[in-house]
């Protein structure tokens, strides 16, 4: 318990209860001397059956002849949480959660209750993760807001928790609270926010946008040592963009491998959960909780090929490209990989399906509007109708969401079906071009965006029309897993602090659908052999 931020010797070592001591077993005298030297005044040895339930190792308050679980309250100074939860110290099937209605010591912030960390390897158990959850997942006993007051107003308490939340809780994770997101799961920059204040990104000068839509989850992980992981989602960059600008690890699984029940969907073809963490190892822990693990070939048994897409690389930032190319070089060396430069546009022109246009841009024109935007509009029909029945007027949404709804509403059924067919043709062609047509395990390397300042007090327009060729749509169209890897940072002169600050740079590594564990293993192999960091720090810089 020495590394636990809740346990403190002067409070919790005065009395001790030992369990699982075999009948007739005696304790050595020097053990008692050791405890007394550290302030212990009483020691009791009990059978766990006498305590009523199996207790996790850790500090408890002995009060009125019963043991009470102990938590520590932390301020959410970065305003990343919408609500904190009363902790479930012992997971029970179909556990119900409730709000912790406590304010922090700082103005305008919540207090978050954090349970003690059980020590690793006690009775073979791993450390229980502390997890926050994006407020679009059902959490039993709580309402869902989607960061929109109208939606929250008509929301009902959930009867059950989302599958990805439930599996983590069942595996021992502490669910600490619900985090902020972009309103209605669309893009929302800080200057666009109306109903709820946008979370603060801790990196750089502290006044950079946290991006969206999983802004609160990524910012919380980047801000707080007391939080291990946070759940987000990724539809068209909702997880990858926040992972980059907040400088944290992110894992996005293959679409068909994870149960989406209890997750609010906008476009099921693209929607998937994701997880953020400061430590690479936690991505694997969450992946094993979500995905039934199959046989995984060792990284040394694979022949690798790194696909370097000229459509997206290089970005117009030499310092950022130096870091990305350095990581690609590490992949080449430590995976024994061949690096293949390829252009999607040129490959389509050379080998496109018969009877289709030579220009992939022409072929995919308006496909995102006629598929994703159309379904995004349809997915909120019940919300609009229920809100109007409840309040007598249409629900309020930010202007960007209304404009996207308008675009989606204007799409006809025939247009939707034709565009869906085009996307499926492109998906099959892309899957064959990047993965299936190769004898190697291909890993695609992508940037997430350009590492340039994006101040939260400056308007930052979200894209009104998006192309299916945008780099952020590659994984959703393929249904591929990816890992966002923090690799360094680039300097800039902040107009806030008037000094040199640093923005995170990441590499986005994409695998073929269904190769989630192979992808994680390959990234781990590169990090280990290249002696790259497997964790990032909280605060202004990932690698201070």
Of the listed ranges 13-27, 153-167, 220-234, the least confidently predicted one is 13-27
- For the cut 70, the answer to whether the pLDDT of residue 22 exceeds it is no
Can you give the pLDDT at residue 43? 84
Percent of residues in the chain assigned helix, strand, coil, to nearest 5:
35, 20, 45
Give the C-alpha separation, 415 to 425, whole Å: 15
Residue 53 above 70 pLDDT?
A: no
What is the Rg, in whole angstroms, of the alpha carbon atoms belonging to the chain? 25
Q: Which two tokens stand for residue 311?
A: 């459509």
d(CA 61, CA 70): 7
* Residue among 282, 76, 62, 256 at smallest CA distance from 172: 282
Angle ∠(171,174,175) on CA atoms, nearest 5: 110
What's the whole-number average pLDDT of the chain?
A: 92
Question: Is the CB of residue 443 less than 8 Å from the CB of residue 307?
Answer: yes
- Whole-angstrom CA distances from 86 to 101, 103, 478 are 9, 13, 39
Q: Say if CB 43 and CB 35 are below 8 A apart.
A: yes
**In the prediction, which pLDDT does 38 show?**
80
Q: What percent of the chain has pLDDT over 70?
A: 91
Q: What is the pLDDT of residue 124?
A: 44
CA 209 to chain centre: 17
pLDDT at position 123 is: 45
Sign of the Cα torsion 462, 467, 473, 477 reads positive
pLDDT at residue 69, rounded to an integer: 77
3-state secondary structure of 286: helix
Question: How is residue 110 annotated by DSSP?
Answer: B
Claim: this prediction has a pTM higher than 0.85:
yes
Structure confidence at residue 118 (pLDDT): 65
**What SS3 string covers 91-111?**
CCCCCCCCEECCECCCCCCEE
DSSP 455-476: BTTS--PPPSS--TTSGGGHHH
Two tokens, residue 396: 């309020």
Non-local (6+) Cβ contacts of 342 within 8 A are 307, 308, 309, 310, 433, 434
pLDDT digits (tens, 9 = 90+) for 96-144: 899 999 999 999 999 999 998 765 544 444 678 999 999 999 999 999 9
Strand partners, 85: 99
Q: Check pLDDT > 70 for residue 166.
A: yes
- Distance (Å, rounded) from C-alpha 218 to C-alpha 224? 10
Tokens 């346990």 map to which residue?
A: 7
SS3 state of residue 275: strand
Query: Is a pLDDT exceeding 60 seen at residue 295?
Result: no
At residue 441, the 3 state secondary structure works out as strand
| Residue 88 φ/ψ, nearest 5 degrees | -95, 100
Residues with Cβ within 8 Å of residue 425, at least 6 apart in sequence: 353, 356
CA dihedral 202, 205, 206, 207 (to 10 degrees): -140
DSSP letter at 267 equals -
Domains, the chain? 9-69 (no CATH), 72-290 (3.90.1300.10)
Phi and psi at 67, nearest 5°, equal -95, 125
Coil, helix or strand at residue 217: helix
Query: How many Å apart are CA 285 and CA 517, to the nearest integer?
Result: 11
The whole-number pLDDT of residue 298 equals: 53
At 380, the pLDDT band (50, 70, 90 cuts) reads very high
* Alpha-carbon span 281 to 218, nearest angstrom: 17
């Amino acid at each position: 318990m020495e590394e636990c931020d809740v346990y403190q010797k002067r409070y919790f070592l005065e009395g001790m209860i030992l369990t699982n001591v075999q009948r007739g077993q005696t304790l050595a005298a020097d053990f008692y001397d050791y405890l007394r030297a550290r302030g212990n005044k009483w020691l009791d040895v009990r059978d766990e059956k006498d305590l009523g339930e199996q207790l996790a190792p850790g500090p408890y308050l002995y009060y009125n002849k019963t043991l009470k679980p102990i938590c520590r309250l932390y301020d959410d100074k970065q305003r990343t949480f919408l609500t904190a939860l009363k902790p479930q110290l012992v997971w029970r099937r179909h556990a119900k959660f409730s709000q912790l209605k406590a304010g922090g010591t700082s103005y305008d912030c919540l207090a978050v209750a954090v349970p003690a960390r059980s020590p690793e390897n006690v009775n073979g158990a791993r450390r229980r993760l502390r997890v926050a959850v994006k407020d679009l997942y059902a959490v039993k006993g709580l309402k869902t807001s989607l960061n929109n007051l109208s939606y929250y107003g008509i929301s009902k308490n959930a009867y059950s928790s989302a599958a990805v939340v439930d599996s983590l809780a069942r595996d021992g994770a502490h669910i600490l609270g619900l985090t902020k997101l972009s309103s209605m799961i669309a893009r929302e920059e800080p200057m666009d926010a109306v109903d709820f204040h946008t979370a603060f990104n801790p990196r750089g000068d502290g006044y950079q946008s946290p991006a969206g839509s999983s802004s609160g989850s990524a910012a919380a992980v980047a801000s707080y040592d007391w939080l291990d992981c946070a759940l987000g989602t990724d539809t068209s960059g909702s997880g990858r963009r926040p992972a980059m600008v907040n400088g944290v690890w992110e894992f996005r699984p293959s679409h068909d491998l994870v149960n989406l029940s209890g997750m609010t969907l906008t476009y099921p073809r693209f929607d998937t959960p994701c997880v953020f963490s400061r430590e690479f190892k936690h991505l694997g822990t969450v992946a094993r909780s979500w995905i039934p693990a199959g046989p995984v070939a060792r990284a040394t048994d694979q022949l690798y090929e790194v696909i370097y897409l000229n459509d997206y690389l290089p970005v117009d930032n030499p310092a950022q490209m130096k870091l990305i190319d350095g990581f690609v070089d590490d992949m080449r060396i430590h995976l024994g990989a061949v690096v293949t430069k390829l252009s999607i546009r040129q490959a389509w022109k050379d080998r496109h399906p018969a009877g289709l246009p030579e220009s992939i841009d022409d072929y995919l024109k308006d496909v995102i509007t006629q598929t994703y935007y159309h379904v995004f509009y349809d997915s909120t029909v019940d919300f609009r109708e229920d809100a109007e029945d409840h309040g007598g007027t249409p629900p309020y949404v930010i202007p960007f969401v209304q404009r996207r709804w308008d675009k989606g509403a204007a799409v006809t059924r025939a247009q939707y079906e034709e565009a869906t067919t085009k996307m499926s043709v492109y998906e099959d062609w892309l899957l064959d071009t990047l993965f299936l047509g190769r004898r190697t395990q291909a890993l695609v390397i992508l940037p997430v965006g350009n590492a340039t300042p994006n101040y939260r007090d400056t308007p930052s327009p979200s894209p009104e029309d998006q192309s299916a060729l945008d780099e952020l749509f590659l994984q959703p169209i393929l249904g591929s897993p990816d890992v966002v890897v923090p690799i360094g940072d680039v300097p800039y002169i902040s107009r806030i602090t008037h000094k040199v600050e640093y923005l995170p740079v990441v590499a986005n590594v994409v695998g073929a659908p269904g190769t989630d564990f192979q992808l994680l293993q390959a990234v781990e192999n590169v990090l280990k052999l290249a002696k790259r960091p497997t964790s990032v720090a909280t605060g202004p810089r990932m690698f201070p």
